[in-house]
Homo-oligomer: A and B are copies of this chain.
């Protein structure tokens, strides 16, 4: 895990020290390539049976992680690198991380939807699921009661006092989130149970297919060619001649500028106004997924990631020692939740189109869809709150 240094008082201090050049980029790329190879070795060692062991899941995550970082650096700092090599490498790395991501995505989506069905049925969510599926916008019971104690209305402070920061979601008594209560699986309604079974069937099928595709991909000659190129990159980065004297910062700033522009185009005023009900505006529209209104947020999610990786590279910090900006991280998490909830809502809507389902099943899927669209709205609100804090504290 990355070691975290939080310096909220002066985020500009990241530019202190010597000017980062192409050499820092080369160091970063070598470290990421080494990490890629290490994860690949680990993945082969831990096996790759259907469902995947914990080790192979971790290894696949680490593979995706370094593939994303290499690909992002090739994008942001392309002018410092051999052009042909960059253009050949980037789509291949995107293919690797995209293919490996699918299995995990289906697993997480199913977990999120089943957890939501339990929550909506008033039954206790399975332990671990609540936090996994809803962390960030909804804290677990322990954090909730802690925050509730701290934020208890005293009647004294201004209205903003009770506002939680991202990741805090105080819950009062009366909700079935008592950490001591045992998980109950039995008390779903017929509709919720049938909806759960339907989603389980559909998403497990998709997950199994994704697993086979990933296995096939990892055994393909296309993947072996990529692994060979990454092995070369681990020792030799194809920098241009002028790269080692070129300042990385203007290129990193350009990445930040693209992010800032994209954020400025988001409907943040709406997002910052709780219960604006905009995420569900097309909840019953005849169009199939994805929601067009989600696209700019997904785009910002990608640009935020590019910005974050550009900062990592610019500092020349090897992986595992990166200085993490917690605000960027929580803004990114909000956008991840946005994406997850958006896709989960789409999966619920899609399942409702299954022919010959019972009305009770369809009703439960409708409630579930709307619930996930509201999670989309909640994630936008959380992002707006992070982003505003950032703007205020750096200006």
Q: Which residues of B contact A1 (CB under 8 A)?
A: none
Complex contact B148–A284 (CB within 8 A): no
CB-contact partner of A366 in B119, B363, B377, under 8 A: B363
Complex contact A163–B159 (CB within 8 A): yes
A268 vs B281: C-alpha distance when bound (angstroms): 28
Complex contact A285–B170 (CB within 8 A): no
Complex contact A284–B158 (CB within 8 A): no
Instruction: Answer whether residue A17 sits at the interface, using C-beta atoms and an 8 A cutoff.
Output: no
A283 vs B368: C-alpha distance when bound (angstroms): 9
Complex contact B363–A270 (CB within 8 A): no
Q: Which residues of B contact A357 (CB under 8 A)?
A: 359
CB distance from A22 to the nearest CB of B (A): 33
Known: A122-B285, A172-B269, A359-B359. A158 touches B392 (CB 8 A): yes
Q: How many residues of A contact B (CB 8 A)?
A: 79
When each residue 286-311 of chain A gets 1 if its CB lies under 8 Å from chain B and 0 otherwise, what string results?
A: 10000001000000000000000000
Q: Which residues of B contact A192 (CB under 8 A)?
A: 284
| 30 residue pairs bridging A and B, Cβ less than 8 Å apart | A120-B283, A122-B284, A122-B285, A138-B275, A153-B269, A159-B389, A162-B269, A163-B273, A169-B275, A170-B269, A170-B270, A171-B270, A171-B276, A171-B278, A175-B270, A175-B278, A192-B284, A274-B274, A274-B275, A274-B378, A274-B381, A277-B375, A277-B378, A358-B359, A359-B359, A362-B362, A365-B366, A366-B367, A366-B368, A366-B369
- A-to-B contact residues, CB < 8 Å: 117, 119-122, 137-138, 148, 151-153, 155-160, 162-164, 169-176, 187-189, 191-192, 267-270, 272-278, 280-286, 293, 352, 357-371, 374-375, 377-378, 381, 385, 388-389, 391-392, 395
CB-based closest 3 A-B pairs:
A366-B366, A160-B160, A370-B370
